[in-house]
Structure formats: structure tokens, C-alpha cells
Structure 1
């Protein structure tokens, strides 16, 4: 007796492609919907975290205003479209509405990832008087000592950020130096064992200050009182 062999049924390629395409589309819509649904909340949380850091690095401030320093050297309140090359910064005001200092963001490559910081600047002394961390993923117990190490943070009591005579750049580059070798007011005493992260903080502040201060300092009268 001859048995009839029946070939196994196969799913047509076109139908399989359509099914996979439908699944991919549905997954894509779910992902996009979840992103859009949480985007505003995420941005609001980031904004609140940033504001908290502004008031930490400018402890005398009670309110703040957001500004941009434009490539043409001018300064104006933030809002609307921000031109390419503009530098955003925050002016803090005391309870009398007078300028209590300026805060600006910066970032540089650390040991694990980019270290994003916010530093406080005082026009009266032309110096950096504090910094906070906006985001980092440095090694716990090593790189994150930038938040707690007393000697490291002492460098920011009055870190020199004066402009050169031509007002086009800092007179001296702000940078971290090997622990125990700090001799100048523009140097940061690095943390032993966390030199890379320490240098990232110095570079982040230096790069941001080099971009911002030549535009800001000549225009301090435009931000000295809360708008």
C-alpha cells in the first residue's frame, strides 16, 4: 500500500511580512505614545532639578531669570527660537531683586560618561564660587567624590575666572591639577584616585566660561535687576 505524502503547509512569505509589519507598527505606536505621554513630565522634572542646582550654587538668590548670550556679543532674556551658538545662562536675584550671581551649565567627558555640571559665577570677584552636578555616571565611591571631597570643593570658594585684557577669553585656563600641586587661584585641586572626573569638572567649567563670560561681562548692566 502506497502512502500518500502530504507536504507540510507553509505560510506564504507575503503574509508573514504583512504580519511582522503590523506587529512592528503597533509596537512603534505604543513606544511613541508612551514617549509623548511622559515627555512633558520628564522635562518638568529636569527643569525642577536644574532650578534646585541654580539656587544651590547661588545661595543668596531667591528668584531666577533665564537668558542667552548670543554670538554677536549681545545678551537677552531666553524665549523664542535660540540661534545656533547661543549660550544659555541663569541670573539669580536676591529678595530685593538685585543680581546675586550667574549660573551656567557645562559638560566634559569623565571616566564613565559625560559629567554635566552647573557652576555659580560672581561678577564682583570675577570668580566661580560653587558648582553642582546635573548628571553623571561616574564610579560610586570614586568619581562621585566630587560631590563630597572637602579639599576638592574648597577650590571653588573663589576660583579665578577673570577675563584677559582684550575681554575675548579667560586670562588663565581653569583646570584641575594633580592633588597637592595647586599653586594658582584658577587651578582645581584634583581628588587622588579620581583625577579623570576632577579634570572633567575643570574642563566643563573652563569651556563654558570661555564661551559665556566674554559676552556676559560687557553686558552685566542688562541683567543686574530682575526683568
Structure 2
């Protein structure tokens, strides 16, 4: 199980008098398998989850993933922690579906045959095997998000961090991604506005104005968030 330690973390965008504080002295320890993160736009939740795999380094304080400090061991942290963006177009790199899935294994040391086998397994698992030579950017929205997820998972990270992966999807595709998330064996940290995805999670964090304002079981934390938004 992945262990995440966030110790007195604050973060600012910009410099000097125009600097904007987006996280304000966050301290929390996380070891559950399913972790939700909610908050209104601008609450700091996306900044928080991006710190968990060293996409962002805090202005002050420390973030550790399995004992590795993100500010000092960013490359090692990213090997353990995969990241899924809101818009899959931001992480689809290669022209075809199969090439994009294989891209994450380019420095793995695996043979060409081993890479091909891993790619075929990933495509079959996520229903993309019939699209292996299809132009990646011409997939549907749901298929693109599955492709982005397959491209992350093929590197076998211990932790999957997702920043609103269902926001751009219709209800059917959002539910499909939700079912995929539920079946993942890895630790998942999910930032989302689709609160129903969190019903079976172990723990939910609520952010407001850069502060962690609630932390608990899904029903309790989501009720706090709904009250906050009302």
C-alpha cells in the first residue's frame, strides 16, 4: 500500500506582491487504497494532487511518497506514481493507439517482443484492441481517456493520481471510467466533481480556499462539501 506524507505544505503561484497562495499549510498522512479529493474550482485540489507525483514542488513544506521526497527524488517518485490529466489530449503523444501505449516502455529495457505483448494485453484489457492502428486523436472522448489510462498503467506504477478524469466526458463514459477505476489494484487518488464516483472510496479530503477543511469517510466528507457549496 502506498504511503503519502504531506508535511506543512504551502504553495504560491507567482512572485512578490502578486504571488497567489493556493495551498496553505497542509499536513496529512494517507495510506488508504482509494482516496478522493474534492473542492470547488480554485480550491487548491488540483495543485494538491499534482504535488503527489512531483509535477509541482511545494513552495514550503515536504511531500513524501513511500519515503521519497518529491523535491529531491522527483524521478523516482514518478516511477511509482502515474498521473492522469483531465484532458487526455494533453498526454496522448504518439500518432496511433498502439504506439502511444508502447511509448511508456521506451526505456524499460524490455525486448521488442515483450513490449508488443504488454501492449496487446493493455489494449485488450481496455477494449482498444480493435483500434490499435487507429489515429489516437480521432478516438471518442471515453476511448481517449482509456488510452491515456492504459499508457500510464503499462509502466506498472504503484499509485495512480487522477485530476478530474471524467469532467470532459458524458455520463455514460464517466460511469465507464468509474468502473475501470473501481477495478484497479493500485492505490488511487482521484480529484473529481463527480461525487458519486466516491461512494465506495475509503477516505475523502475536502479543500476550500487552499485549506484542507474536511477529511473522513465519503458520506461525511461529501456532506460537508455540499453544505459548503450551498
Q: TM-score range by the shorter chain?
A: under 0.3
Q: Relative contact order (alpha carbons < 8 A, sep ≥ 6): 1 or 2 greater? A: 2
Q: Return the index of the structure with the highest Cα Rg.
A: 1
TM-score, reference length from structure 2: 0.26
TM-score, reference length from structure 1: 0.26
